[in-house]
Amino acid sequence: MSTQNPQPWRLVVTEAASGSWNMAVDEAIATYTARGESPATLRFYQWRPGTVSLGRNQSFADLDMDRVQQQGYGVVRRATGGRAILHIDELTYSISGTANDAGLGGAILDSYNQLSNGLMLGLQRLGIDAVKAQAESRSGADAGPICFEFPSAYEITVGGRKLICTAQSRRSGYILKHGSLPLTGNV
Protein backbone atom coordinates (compact mmCIF):
# COMPACT_ATOMS: atom_id res chain seq x y z
CA MET A 1 0.00 0.00 0.00
CA SER A 2 1.13 3.52 -0.71
CA THR A 3 1.43 5.93 2.16
CA GLN A 4 -1.36 8.42 2.93
CA ASN A 5 1.12 11.30 2.70
CA PRO A 6 3.63 10.49 -0.04
CA GLN A 7 7.18 11.61 0.71
CA PRO A 8 9.32 13.32 -1.94
CA TRP A 9 11.68 11.13 -3.92
CA ARG A 10 15.33 11.85 -4.52
CA LEU A 11 16.65 12.27 -8.08
CA VAL A 12 20.20 11.08 -8.81
CA VAL A 13 21.88 11.48 -12.21
CA THR A 14 25.27 9.82 -12.55
CA GLU A 15 27.94 9.75 -15.23
CA ALA A 16 28.24 6.79 -17.59
CA ALA A 17 30.02 3.92 -15.82
CA SER A 18 30.75 0.20 -16.06
CA GLY A 19 28.05 -2.38 -15.58
CA SER A 20 29.41 -3.62 -12.27
CA TRP A 21 29.61 -0.05 -10.90
CA ASN A 22 26.06 0.75 -12.05
CA MET A 23 24.60 -2.40 -10.51
CA ALA A 24 26.54 -1.86 -7.24
CA VAL A 25 25.22 1.71 -6.95
CA ASP A 26 21.64 0.57 -7.55
CA GLU A 27 21.93 -2.15 -4.93
CA ALA A 28 23.51 0.24 -2.42
CA ILE A 29 20.76 2.82 -2.90
CA ALA A 30 18.10 0.11 -2.55
CA THR A 31 19.73 -1.19 0.64
CA TYR A 32 19.79 2.29 2.17
CA THR A 33 16.13 2.87 1.29
CA ALA A 34 15.23 -0.41 3.00
CA ARG A 35 17.04 0.75 6.14
CA GLY A 36 15.19 4.07 6.08
CA GLU A 37 18.50 5.91 5.59
CA SER A 38 17.61 7.17 2.11
CA PRO A 39 14.37 8.34 0.51
CA ALA A 40 12.90 6.55 -2.49
CA THR A 41 15.26 7.32 -5.36
CA LEU A 42 14.95 7.70 -9.11
CA ARG A 43 18.36 7.35 -10.74
CA PHE A 44 19.25 8.00 -14.40
CA TYR A 45 22.48 6.68 -15.91
CA GLN A 46 24.29 5.28 -18.91
CA TRP A 47 26.95 2.63 -19.49
CA ARG A 48 30.59 2.84 -20.53
CA PRO A 49 31.70 0.63 -22.09
CA GLY A 50 28.51 -0.69 -23.67
CA THR A 51 27.33 -3.60 -21.54
CA VAL A 52 25.01 -6.57 -21.85
CA SER A 53 23.00 -7.01 -18.68
CA LEU A 54 21.36 -10.33 -17.97
CA GLY A 55 18.26 -10.76 -15.85
CA ARG A 56 18.65 -12.28 -12.39
CA ASN A 57 17.75 -15.81 -13.54
CA GLN A 58 19.00 -15.71 -17.11
CA SER A 59 21.70 -18.12 -18.27
CA PHE A 60 25.05 -16.87 -19.55
CA ALA A 61 24.59 -19.51 -22.25
CA ASP A 62 22.15 -17.07 -23.90
CA LEU A 63 25.15 -14.92 -24.91
CA ASP A 64 27.65 -15.36 -27.70
CA MET A 65 30.58 -14.42 -25.45
CA ASP A 66 33.08 -14.39 -28.33
CA ARG A 67 30.96 -11.78 -30.12
CA VAL A 68 30.43 -9.77 -26.93
CA GLN A 69 34.20 -9.64 -26.36
CA GLN A 70 34.92 -8.79 -30.01
CA GLN A 71 32.62 -5.79 -29.70
CA GLY A 72 34.33 -4.70 -26.47
CA TYR A 73 31.14 -4.91 -24.40
CA GLY A 74 31.01 -5.71 -20.72
CA VAL A 75 28.65 -8.26 -19.19
CA VAL A 76 26.85 -7.97 -15.86
CA ARG A 77 23.95 -9.63 -14.07
CA ARG A 78 21.12 -7.43 -12.82
CA ALA A 79 19.44 -7.92 -9.45
CA THR A 80 16.16 -7.58 -11.32
CA GLY A 81 14.63 -10.18 -13.62
CA GLY A 82 13.89 -10.02 -17.30
CA ARG A 83 15.96 -10.81 -20.33
CA ALA A 84 19.21 -9.52 -21.87
CA ILE A 85 19.65 -5.87 -22.79
CA LEU A 86 22.55 -4.34 -24.70
CA HIS A 87 23.08 -0.98 -23.01
CA ILE A 88 24.42 1.34 -25.69
CA ASP A 89 22.88 4.60 -26.86
CA GLU A 90 20.14 4.37 -24.25
CA LEU A 91 19.05 5.82 -20.95
CA THR A 92 18.68 3.52 -17.97
CA TYR A 93 16.67 4.34 -14.91
CA SER A 94 16.42 2.64 -11.56
CA ILE A 95 13.83 3.17 -8.88
CA SER A 96 14.68 2.15 -5.34
CA GLY A 97 12.24 2.30 -2.45
CA THR A 98 9.97 0.35 -0.15
CA ALA A 99 6.37 -0.82 -0.36
CA ASN A 100 5.42 2.31 1.62
CA ASP A 101 6.65 4.63 -1.14
CA ALA A 102 4.12 6.06 -3.60
CA GLY A 103 3.72 3.92 -6.70
CA LEU A 104 5.68 0.94 -5.34
CA GLY A 105 3.21 -0.74 -2.99
CA GLY A 106 0.81 -3.55 -3.71
CA ALA A 107 1.40 -6.52 -5.96
CA ILE A 108 4.23 -6.44 -8.50
CA LEU A 109 1.89 -5.87 -11.43
CA ASP A 110 0.15 -3.05 -9.52
CA SER A 111 3.43 -1.17 -9.20
CA TYR A 112 4.34 -1.94 -12.84
CA ASN A 113 1.01 -0.40 -13.85
CA GLN A 114 1.42 2.69 -11.67
CA LEU A 115 4.98 3.38 -12.76
CA SER A 116 4.13 2.75 -16.42
CA ASN A 117 1.37 5.36 -16.17
CA GLY A 118 4.02 7.94 -15.29
CA LEU A 119 6.38 6.82 -18.06
CA MET A 120 3.58 6.83 -20.62
CA LEU A 121 2.42 10.32 -19.61
CA GLY A 122 5.97 11.68 -19.84
CA LEU A 123 6.48 10.20 -23.31
CA GLN A 124 3.10 11.46 -24.50
CA ARG A 125 4.05 14.97 -23.33
CA LEU A 126 7.08 14.67 -25.60
CA GLY A 127 4.77 13.86 -28.52
CA ILE A 128 5.40 10.11 -28.57
CA ASP A 129 2.32 7.93 -29.16
CA ALA A 130 3.11 5.63 -26.24
CA VAL A 131 0.69 3.03 -24.86
CA LYS A 132 0.90 0.30 -22.24
CA ALA A 133 0.84 -3.37 -23.14
CA GLN A 134 -2.20 -5.15 -21.72
CA ALA A 135 -2.00 -6.89 -18.35
CA GLU A 136 -2.43 -10.21 -20.15
CA SER A 137 0.79 -9.65 -22.11
CA ARG A 138 3.21 -12.03 -20.47
CA SER A 139 6.52 -13.33 -21.73
CA GLY A 140 6.47 -17.08 -21.40
CA ALA A 141 9.18 -19.69 -21.39
CA ASP A 142 9.12 -19.66 -25.20
CA ALA A 143 10.13 -15.98 -25.35
CA GLY A 144 13.63 -15.32 -26.68
CA PRO A 145 16.59 -14.16 -24.59
CA ILE A 146 16.33 -10.50 -25.71
CA CYS A 147 14.25 -8.08 -23.61
CA PHE A 148 13.04 -5.93 -26.51
CA GLU A 149 11.51 -8.87 -28.43
CA PHE A 150 8.12 -9.01 -26.68
CA PRO A 151 6.28 -6.64 -24.33
CA SER A 152 5.23 -7.92 -20.93
CA ALA A 153 2.33 -6.65 -18.84
CA TYR A 154 2.15 -2.84 -18.72
CA GLU A 155 5.42 -2.27 -20.56
CA ILE A 156 5.46 0.78 -22.84
CA THR A 157 5.04 0.25 -26.56
CA VAL A 158 4.93 2.44 -29.65
CA GLY A 159 3.36 1.09 -32.83
CA GLY A 160 3.07 -2.35 -31.21
CA ARG A 161 6.82 -2.57 -30.46
CA LYS A 162 8.32 -2.47 -26.99
CA LEU A 163 9.95 0.89 -26.29
CA ILE A 164 11.01 0.50 -22.65
CA CYS A 165 12.25 -2.72 -21.06
CA THR A 166 11.49 -3.03 -17.35
CA ALA A 167 12.22 -5.50 -14.57
CA GLN A 168 11.68 -5.51 -10.84
CA SER A 169 13.05 -7.19 -7.73
CA ARG A 170 11.64 -7.26 -4.22
CA ARG A 171 13.85 -8.47 -1.40
CA SER A 172 15.61 -7.45 1.79
CA GLY A 173 12.89 -4.87 2.48
CA TYR A 174 13.34 -2.94 -0.77
CA ILE A 175 11.87 -2.72 -4.24
CA LEU A 176 14.30 -2.18 -7.11
CA LYS A 177 13.04 -1.50 -10.61
CA HIS A 178 15.18 -1.12 -13.72
CA GLY A 179 14.13 0.35 -17.05
CA SER A 180 15.90 0.90 -20.35
CA LEU A 181 14.89 3.43 -23.02
CA PRO A 182 16.85 3.31 -26.31
CA LEU A 183 17.75 6.78 -27.58
CA THR A 184 19.21 5.89 -31.00
CA GLY A 185 19.91 2.81 -33.06
CA ASN A 186 17.97 -0.33 -33.81
CA VAL A 187 17.43 -2.48 -30.71
Catalytic residues: 147
Listed in sequence order, the DSSP H helices in the chain are 19-34, 65-71, 108-125
Radius of gyration of the chain measured on its C-alpha atoms: 16
The helix or strand, by DSSP H or E, that contains position 12, with its residue range, turns out to be: strand 10-13
HSE at residue 2, side-chain half, CA atoms within 13 A, is: 13
HSE at residue 50, side-chain half, CA atoms within 13 A, is: 14
Tell me the C-alpha to C-alpha distance, in Å, between residue 8 and each of 105, 163, 173. 15, 27, 19
